[in-house]
Structures are given as structure tokens and as C-alpha cells.
Structure 1
């Protein structure tokens, strides 16, 4: 399916390698995710009719409100490439949420982050879960992050589900321990 079709099904995702429009502002990156909410026509845009300006103003306010959630509002007019890595990750999540998804897929969001950025990311994901009430599917190798935010965990080993359960069940599962930590036998 095309990205547009996937978005129409209510699915948004972030990537392991951040994919922002690096030469655009932070605000414009989020506005890209809001394109589906635009309620003016090409005709209104070309002729610069009042409906176009009202639509643009509404999109800008929605984008700014998302940036506020992630404490990025003060960077609204900064080029996305000038943000620190952790804030770029937050921006990518904000842009994904701009599409109003029912399911948010996060593909290794902690990749390349230091422990401080990872802790901040954990808080960001908790905020997303609380404020947006959407399902989050997290693919991640950072076990501290996974154990700190997930309600249910599926552990894969060579493409097969090895275990499924709560963080406590996974942590104490002998098959998981043997597969990922080795055993003393």
C-alpha cells in the first residue's frame, strides 16, 4: 500500500533512522502530517481565498499544539536538521501523531540515543499513550525502555514468537533468558 493508504487506515510510523524533512522548519514538518485535515481546495489556494487562510491558520495552531505536547514549541521556526538527535526523534513522533492515527508503530526509536535521551523518550512515549489514547507497537532492543513502558511484550527469536506476556513474565521466562542471555549449562 502507498503511504497515503496506510495513513487512511489510521496507521502512522516512525523509522529506525530518522526521516525528517531536514531543510524544513520544525513547524512545517508537523504541518506535513496534517495535510489530510486541510479543508480547502486547490482553487482556494491558487486564488488565495479566505478559506485557504483559515485552513492554514487552523493547521498551524494544530501543529503548535502538538509541538507543545513534546516541549518543542520554542523550536517551531528552527530548521529540523539543527535540533539535537533526541528532539528530532520527538519531532518525528509529533509528525506521525499529526495524521491522527489509531496505531502508532515505533521502529527502534531509541537507536543511537544516549541513556539521557532514552529516558526522555520513555517519558515521551508515556505521554503519547496517555494524551492520545492510541495503540503503540514498539520494536526495540533496549530492554530497559521496553520493560519500562510496555504492558505486553512479544519476544521473537529468528522470526518465531518465543514468549508473550507482561514485562515480569518475560523477565522470568527461562526460554527468553536462554535465547538472549545464554544459560550456565
Structure 2
């Protein structure tokens, strides 16, 4: 092989490698965001998506006395010389429910969704209510490309009674809050 053809072969190999690298970068970028800006993520495609945040659950056993929600402590009154300013109202955040229902394999009522806001931190809350019973589960929301992902929130069968439960997915952070419309989950 002459030095001219060897040089040409090296140039071709380098160009092909560069094209493959550029194609790989475009593929990664394309997979990280939806092709249509009006399309939002709808879960992971599995029956039981893995939660994306750490889970903190307050799931009391249902009883005739369950159903009252503890109110947060009252905001303390400013004292003389205090420079505490009144808190600003929270901006509205659109919450979208991507799945909900009874997961027989997990033995739990499940809900998932996302919030059309991108912030450093926030919390997603699932509230299930039936009659005077109310059960709440909270997970940390995870920042995604353009939204806050709630992942899956679930309440185990042991905390629920048979029947229709109203489920509400809500979101809150230091700057915004919102809720998706209630859906009904049938617990067998």
C-alpha cells in the first residue's frame, strides 16, 4: 500500500469515527427530551415504575377516628423589633396525572405524575380519602429535563379498606403549588 492510499485510509477512518461520535451525541440528546414539546412523559412503561425520590410515608391504619388532617402549626406572630416579612403567595403549578389505579402485583393503590415546573426541590403528595378516612403519602419530586417528576406514590392494601377511594396528586415547594383533579381508585 502506498503512502498516499494509507493516508487516505487514515483520513477516512478518522472521519467515520467523528461521524459516529456526533451521531451518538445527537441520539443521547434526542432521548433526553420529547420530540414534540406538547408531549409529556407518561411513566416508565412498566406496571410499577420505580420512584425517583426518597419516600416519606404517613400511612395510618384506617379507623373510625382516622380522617382528620393535622393542621400545620400557626405562623408565629412577629415580635417587637422583628423584621419578618409576610410570605409571598405561591405560584400555581400544573400537576399532570400519568397513571393511577390498583396494582394487584404490588398490593397497593398507585398514582404517578409530573409537575409542569422546574425547580431545585419540591414534594409530591398522594392523598387518598374515603368517607372520614384520609391517608397521605409524600415523596420528594425529582427535577427532570423540563418538569418535576413525582415517580410512583403508593399506599399498601393494609392501610386501605375495600371500596372506592378518591385520589389527589398534589405538589408543593417553596415557590409553587398545585393539584391534579381527583380520580377514583377501586380497592378490591
TM-score normalised by the chain length of structure 1: 0.23
Structure with the higher helix share, 1 or 2: 1
Larger Rg: 2
Structure with the larger strand share: 2
TM-score of the aligned structures, taking structure 2 as reference length: 0.23
